[in-house]
Each structure stands twice: as C-alpha cells, then as structure tokens.
Structure 1
Amino acid sequence: MIKDIEIREAILDDLPEITSIFRDTVRAINSRDYSETQIEIWSSGADDTEIWEERINNLYFIVAEYRNEIVGFAHVTKGCHLDGIYVHKNYQRRTIGSKLLRIVESQIMAEGYEVINADSSITSVDFFDSHYFEQIKKQKKSYKGKGFAYSIFSKEL
C-alpha cells in the first residue's frame, strides 16, 4: 500500500504520462487475457492524442501522483459512467485504483447520481467484484476491426 498518493484533475501537460501508462498497462497487464493482435490494437489507442485531449478537456478526468510521477488515472463520461481506470504497470495492487475509484464515486454522487456504471476488460473483473460492483452482462465489442470481450458492471452508491 502506498500512502502519499495525491489525486488531482488532469491537465493537458499530463498527456504523455497518461498515454504511456495506458499503453504500458495494456501491454504488460492485459496481455494475459487478450491475444497479441488485440493488445497491439488496444494499446495503439494511446496514439489517438486528439481523443485523449478531448477527454482531459471535457470529462471528469483525474490522475494519481506519487512522488511527482503519475501512477494512475480515471475518467468519467455521461455523468456516471466510469469510462477508464488505469494504474501504472509497476504500481498494480497497491490501492491506487481503489483511491481513484473512491474519488470518482464521490464526484458522481456529488453530481446527484445514485449509480455508477463501468465497462470492464476481462483483466479487471476481479477489481470491480472486490469493490461491490454487480456484473450486469458479458459482451463483445469491435475496436479497429477486432472483437474484444468485456463486461458491463453497475453499483448503487
């Protein structure tokens, strides 16, 4: 467990660290549940800088910092949909994801929502289970022409 984690809203200057965490985490952590082709396609999303800039500028987007290094991030769409939560590959299972989730849940409640929804990769199912989310259904979606299995989760706040 890491104690000195600072959570703050993301700014555009964070973009290189955010996209690096995204790419590296997908390649190192999600590779145990997805094919090499799927991982290459998924991690290439880090190169879509316009999308990342739009997320930072228009969504509730937070980062976790430890010793002046970004070690995780989360962002919310549609008011109550956790669209992404990623933790640096070297900081997995050290409460960073849990802290990001608590802040996101607080923000969602402050905006008057009573439920949080999330799409989950196969890899993060245990994380959502351990945080009292209910798995609603399993699905597949297409991203850049390749199918990806994922689950839809929901939790009452």
Structure 2
Amino acid sequence: MTITEIVQCIMDGGEVPASAALGAVEARALLNVAAADRSSLVRSEAVDKHCDSIRSVGPQFYPPSVVEDWEEGLTPDIHVNAMEGGEVFFVAVGQIDNDSAVLGFATHRIDDARDGGSVYVRGLATRRGIGSALLRMVEAHAIGQGATSIHVEASLAGVEFYKANGFEEVGRGDTLLASGRPIACVFMRKTLTST
C-alpha cells in the first residue's frame, strides 16, 4: 500500500495491515472517534508518551530546568483541545513486554493557512522507523488536504530526525512551551510532493 492509500484507509475507518504501515506497529488516525473515546485515549496514553519522549531524549539537548518546563505544560486536556481545534493525531501502537502500548504519535495542523506537524516517540521505541512512518502519514494527510509544504518548530532533539526526513532549516529561535516558557528550536520546512 502507498502512504496515501494507508491514510485513506485509516480515514475511512479501515484496518491497515501492520506490515503495510509500520512493520510490527499499527498506526491509526483519530479522526472521527467519539469525543469520549478520543478523550479517554489521549488522556491515558498520549500525555504519558509525550512526557516519556521529553524525559528520555530532552536531557541530551536541554538543561534540566527546560525539560521540567517542557513537561510541566502537558496537561491531560492539551491533546483533546488540539483535536477539538482541528489537529489530526496519528498514533503508533505496538507491543511492550507483551502488552499493547502507544509507542508514539504525530500530529498535523493548519495554523493561519500554514501546515505544521510534530512527532513524538517513546525513548525505548526510537531509531526503529516509527517516527519516520508516522511523519509519512502526516505528510500524506497534509497533501490530501492540499498542502504543498509542511513546517515544524523542531526541538534541538528532533533536528537530525527531521533533516533525515527531508526537512531544511529555515531559521533558529525560540518557541513557547505549553507552560508559557520559551525553548530553543529550529524552524524547518519540507516541500511536499504527491507520488
């Protein structure tokens, strides 16, 4: 299956063979899920995995105070509110110690007619292709929505990941964390092409 076919299958509510999307990892989009189900999944899984990603990778690039600030702003409602605002979430689920668990997630959003995205993967699931597969799904979704490019405000921890996936640096600066405090980031952009 092509990435576009995978995304369309997900958007239509179909099952994507794990081998087609992420090998042993299943990916799905949270598009037309009932609010209660969406809220429950995001509250119980996404915030924990977001924090895990920050705790396991962030300290290699930022001082402890910044990592604490980064994690502090991640409340249980942050992802639910993002979804209600139109942000689309893709979640990678796999096995950890024989239990099904969220391994990472990615998002696609449109801010002021500019497409943006982000990818977070649990520390123990990095360097397995999960983040890249999630990012491809975000890109395919963005293309399906008519986007010609996608922008990210990459944490210093994510710069090499985004470069490896075809993004180019367009600037450096700070962005605001959910806590309201600044964090150094690299502004990156990728031109999207449908294949």
Query: TM exceeds 0.5?
Result: yes
In structure 1, give the amino acid aligned to 2:41: D
Distance in 1 between residues matched to 2:176 and 2:136, nearest whole Å: 30
**Residues 120-135 of structure 1 aligned to structure 2 (within 5 Å):** 120-135=154-169
Give the match for residue 5 of structure 1.
25
Deviation at 1:24, TM superposition (A): 1.5
Distance in 1 between residues matched to 2:183 and 2:129, nearest whole Å: 27
Deviation at 1:129, TM superposition (A): 0.8
Q: Are 2:191 and 1:156 equivalent residues in the alignment?
A: yes
In structure 2, give the amino acid aligned to 1:70: V
Secondary structure of 1:74 counterpart: strand
Percent identity for Structure 1 against Structure 2: 25
Between structure 1 and structure 2, the one with the greater Rg is 2
Deviation at 1:37, TM superposition (A): 0.7
Give the match for residue 9 of structure 2.
none
Give the match for residue 76 of structure 2.
49
Alpha-carbon displacement from aligned partner over 1:55-105 (angstroms, at most 9, x marks no partner): 2333111101113311000112216211x2100111010000000001000
**Residues 15-34 of structure 1 aligned to structure 2 (within 5 Å):** 15=42, 16-34=44-62
Higher strand share goes to which structure? 1
**Residues 3-152 of structure 1 aligned to structure 2 (within 5 Å):** 3-10=23-30, 11-15=38-42, 16-46=44-74, 48-57=75-84, 58-67=86-95, 68-78=100-110, 80-82=115-117, 84-143=118-177, 144=179, 146-152=181-187
Contiguous gaps of at least 5 residues in structure 2: 1-21, 31-37
The count of residues paired between Structure 1 and Structure 2 equals: 154
Distance in 2 between residues matched to 1:145 and 1:8, nearest whole Å: 30
RMSD: 1.6
Contiguous gaps of at least 5 residues in structure 1: none
Q: TM-score w.r.t. structure 2 length? A: 0.74
